[in-house]
Amino acid sequence: MVSSVLFVCNMNSVRSPMAEAVARHVLGDSVTVSSCGVYKGITDPFVQDALKEAGMAPVDHPPQEFAECNTDDFDVVIALTSEAAAEARKLGAKVEFWEVENPTDTRGSELDLRMAYGRLRDDLVSKVKQHLAV
């Protein structure tokens, strides 16, 4: 059973912080959860909106990079981008790769963009329940 998980992506501004918030919501206090990125990005307001829309608490820390996280402190590192997976493996971490949509690649209206963030959230809920929930 996993007792701690670190979600990683490229900038810790969309996918990994959303996964962190989703995992905290789904798993509660039973698992220690955090997130970081290969690089340090900026907080994405659409992430917070998508989480609030589903009744989930937003991420409570600013984006952070690998240098601010010790991968040895976690049972598993879940990479949400191939670049993050490669960087985590360089640090000797046990890595799982989850392929997920990058909502920032969405073109169209604000509604289209918000729907993409919602799809990512829902996909992460499904993956957390499938792979991490007891």
Q: Is 4 helix (H, G, I), strand (E, B) or coil?
A: strand
Average pLDDT, the chain: 94
Residue 134 pLDDT: 65
pLDDT over 80 at 1, yes or no? no
Which stretch of DSSP H or E encloses residue 95?
A: strand 95-97
- Dump pLDDT digits (tens) for 22-49: 999 999 998 999 999 999 999 899 999 9
- Dump pLDDT digits (tens) for 62-112: 999 998 999 999 999 999 999 999 999 999 998 999 999 999 999 999 999
Orientation of helix 15-27 relative to helix 45-53, angle to 10°: 20
CATH of domain 4-131: 3.40.50.2300
pTM comes to: 0.95
Q: Is 29 helix (H, G, I), strand (E, B) or coil?
A: helix
Q: How many residues does the chain have?
A: 134
Domain ranges of the chain: 4-131
End-to-end Cα spacing for the chain: 8
Instruction: Give me the helices (H) in 67-109, please.
Output: 82-90
